[in-house]
A and B are shown apart, each in its own frame.
Chain A
Amino acid sequence: MSRKPKQKAHIEFTLNGETAEVAFAPHKTLLEVLREDLNLTGTKHGCELGECGTCTVLVDRKPILSCLMLGLDVEGREVTTVEGMNEGAQLHPLQETFADTGAAQCGYCTPGFLLVAKELLTKNPNPTREEIKEALSGNLCRCTGYIKIYEAVELAAAKMRGESVELPKESVYGYE
């Protein structure tokens, strides 16, 4: 049998606002490093071929697919995962609206959507429905049909702008 001795790579980077050091087998993807070596299992495996967006995290504040990036690649960079969205018990407005408005059904694709939406609202605090659709079109969801996700993003955006808003009645119950 011919397995090479396991050499580990060591890197240092900023993870959810704090410095992190980690050692791992150099061939591991960022997704594997996060889940297996840092025990942050909020970031999910979906297809592992860059086809579904489920494993999205932010690297230097841009959404990328952690299944297609080597762990080695984030040395010295800034990584944000879903675990870094809330501040203690205080949920990010997107987390609140996703939980309350039915944007998370099975919840498996939710972390990826949350991070893409977070970056969208940073760049564009008042996106149109079309802009939201476009921004989220790299993330697949099989439960919601996306509608509740748009609404959650719109509501969170309004909250973050300091506006008080309610879901349009037709979005939850048809209308009369």
Chain B
Amino acid sequence: MKNFAYARAQDADTAVQLITQNQNAKFLSGGTNLVDLMRENIEQPDHLIDVTGLPLAQVEELPGGGVSIGALVRNSHLAANQIIRERYPVLSQAILMGASAQIRNMATTGGNLMQRTRCYYFYDTDARCNKREPGTGCDALEGFNRIHAILGASDDCIATHPSDMCVALAALDATVHVTGTGVERTIPIVEFHRLPEDTPQIDTNLQPDELITSVELPALPFARNSMYRKVRDRASYAFALVSVAAALEVEDGTIKNVRLALGGVAHKPWRATEAEKVLTGAKADEEIFKRAAAEELKAARGYKHNSFKIELAERTIVSVLKTLASEGGAR
């Protein structure tokens, strides 16, 4: 690991100031991904600004039924939060299916949003990777691409976003609150992460001097009937091959409301808007679930080792919707 200068910030303004003043600086919170990347010499910041002392570790109910999650709320706290478990079970489930208890104890909400891909070639400094070193090429295209993207990829990058939490946030229409030099703004979760296009080195639409302060969940009563399903190679401690976050409301056999997002399939958490269009207002049955899944995956493209994920994603969507329709959606 390369040497770096280290500073602690106690408030958001100082943190933003420090990051603007210093060249090649990075915020450090839980460290579960950044320290890892620094060890591998993939990230080589000259300055680290430790933001763990900022007062952003609260989960608060908002007027109107929404919830604000501070950027420094640890994943383990968020998953265990009573309000989250009752009103947004999909989020709690997604977090608990990610990583391990030790990592969830360390990782923060903001850090989870900022996770970088687990593409092997991104990690392997002997390999070509446009995300790590723009313009060098992508070894995943012809390489072992089992865990790679089937949606929204480009010829420059087929990496996937590794987060489970973010997939749930995408389904829940969360917004990300950020603060920068003199400005605060909100970014809808679906616009927070980017598709790779020809600049895969840029993961998100967050500006270099901006700091995530909180994530807001809108009031979404039907999200009580929501769930996260993760298909992975083993029952714990593995990234998703495919995951599905969904919330469903069925009234008199008709789908009144639905939210659907996919993980493990794209450079960003994938909000399944095409499927939602097919589903909304339709009769809730297996046939429509299948049609919706197929519609969403129509644009999918498989590579040598990951074509199986297209069908796997379709089947997982259908299975999740069936479960939600039978367990609590059809009231």
The short answer to whether A and B are in direct contact, CB under 8 Å, is yes
Binding site for B on A (CB under 8 A): 4, 6-7, 9, 25-29, 48-51, 53, 56, 62-65, 67-70, 72-73, 116, 134-135, 137-140
Closest residue of chain B to A120 (Cβ to Cβ) is: B101
Nearest-CB distance from B259 to chain A (Å)?
A: 28
In B153-167, the 8 Å CB interface with A consists of: none
User: Is B102 interfacial (CB 8 A cutoff)?
Assistant: yes
With an 8 A cutoff between CB atoms, is B172 at the interface?
no
Cβ of A138 and Cβ of B236 under 8 Å apart?
yes
Please indicate the chain B residues that have their CB under 8 angstroms from the CB of A27 in the complex.
Answer: 1-4, 38
B52's nearest neighbour on chain A, judged by CB, is A73
Report the number of A-B residue pairs with Cβ-Cβ less than 8 Å: 78
Chain B residues with Cβ below 8 Å from A135 are: 101
Is B308 engaged at the interface, CB distance under 8 Å to the other chain?
no
8 additional A-B pairs beyond A50-B99, A137-B237, A139-B100, beta carbons within 8 Å, are A27-B2, A64-B102, A64-B105, A69-B31, A69-B35, A134-B236, A137-B235, A140-B237
Given the interface pairs A26-B6, A70-B28, A137-B236, the reply to whether A65 lies near B103 with Cβ below 8 Å is yes
B-side interface size class: 20 to 34
- Among B3, B50, B237, the residue within 8 A (CB) of A72 is B50
Considering only CB atoms, which chain A residue lies closest to B234 in the complex? A137
Q: Hey, what's the 0/1 contact readout for B194-214 against A, CB within 8 Å counting as 1?
A: 000000000000000000000
Which residue of A6, A49, A138 contacts B102 across the interface (Cβ within 8 Å)?
A138
Complex Cα spacing A28 to B4, Å: 11
Interface of A is mostly: loop
A residues in contact with B101, CB < 8 Å: 63, 116, 135, 137-138
Q: A70-B28, A137-B236, A137-B237 are in contact. Are A29 and B35 (CB under 8 A)?
A: yes
Contacts of A26 in B (CB 8 A): 3-4, 6
B327 to chain A, nearest CB (A): 21
B36 within 8 A of A: yes
Contact mask B67-103 → A, CB, 8 Å, 1/0?
A: 0000000001000000000000000000000011111
CB distance B236 to A70 under 8 Å? Answer: no
The answer to whether B32 has its CB under 8 Å from any CB of chain A is yes
